[in-house]
C-alpha cells in the first residue's frame, strides 16, 4: 500500500468506509428478516420470507457470508493487505450481482413509485459500491497484487 499515491489511498479509505457502512446496515436489515420480520422496501415490495421463500436464502447469504466477509476484508486491508484486497474483490462481485438482481426485479415487477434518491439507495447503490471497488482494483492492480 505504500506504493499508492495519497489520492489513491484516500479513495480507498472512502470506499472502505462506504463498504463498511453498507455491509453493517444490510447485515442488520437481513438479520431481522431472518428472524421473521417483514420489511417494506423503497419500491413498495415487502421482504418477507414467510411469503417469498427466496428472501430467506438471500438474507441467509448476506448475514452469514457477504456481510461478514466484507467486514473481515476491510480489517484485512490493514492487517494483511493482499488478502483484504482479494476478499473485498470477491465481495464486490457479490454486491454487484445481488443488487443487479434486486434492481431488475424491482423495475420489472414493482414499477417503483417513489422519490428517486430513496430508490437509488435501496437498490442500485450496492451496484455502484461494488463497481467502484472493482474499478479501483483494476486501476491499481499492479500496486496491490504484484510484489
pTM of the model: 0.84
Reported in sequence order, the residue ranges of 18-144 that DSSP labels E, i.e. its strands, are 39-40, 46-47
**Residues for the chain: how many in total?**
147
Extents of the domains making up the chain: 6-145
pLDDT for the residue numbered 39: 73
Among the listed residues 80, 98, 86, 120, the one whose alpha carbon sits nearest the alpha carbon of residue 23:
98
What is residue 47's predicted lDDT score, i.e. its pLDDT? 73
Intra-chain end-to-end CA distance of the chain, in Å: 11
Q: What is the structure's pLDDT at 65?
A: 94
What does the pLDDT profile of the chain (147 residues) look like in tens digits? Answer: 568 889 999 999 999 999 999 999 989 988 888 888 877 766 666 777 677 666 677 888 889 999 999 999 999 999 999 999 999 999 999 999 888 887 777 666 666 665 666 666 667 888 899 999 999 999 999 888 886
Amino acid at each position: 500500500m505504500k506504493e499508492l499515491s495519497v489520492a489513491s489511498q484516500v479513495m480507498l479509505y472512502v470506499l472502505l468506509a462506504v463498504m463498511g457502512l453498507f455491509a453493517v446496515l444490510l447485515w442488520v436489515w437481513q438479520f431481522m428478516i431472518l428472524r421473521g420480520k417483514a420489511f417494506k422496501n423503497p419500491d413498495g415490495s415487502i421482504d418477507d420470507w414467510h411469503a417469498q421463500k427466496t428472501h430467506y436464502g438471500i438474507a441467509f447469504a448476506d448475514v452469514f457470508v457477504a456481510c461478514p466477509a466484507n467486514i473481515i476484508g476491510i480489517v484485512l486491508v490493514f492487517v494483511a493487505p493482499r488478502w483484504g484486497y482479494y476478499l473485498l474483490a470477491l465481495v464486490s462481485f457479490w454486491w454487484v450481482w445481488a443488487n443487479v438482481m434486486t434492481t431488475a426485479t424491482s423495475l420489472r415487477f414493482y414499477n417503483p413509485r417513489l422519490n428517486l434518491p430513496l430508490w437509488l439507495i435501496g437498490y442500485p447503490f450496492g451496484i455502484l459500491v461494488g463497481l467502484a471497488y472493482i474499478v479501483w482494483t483494476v486501476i491499481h492492480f499492479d500496486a496491490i497484487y504484484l510484489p
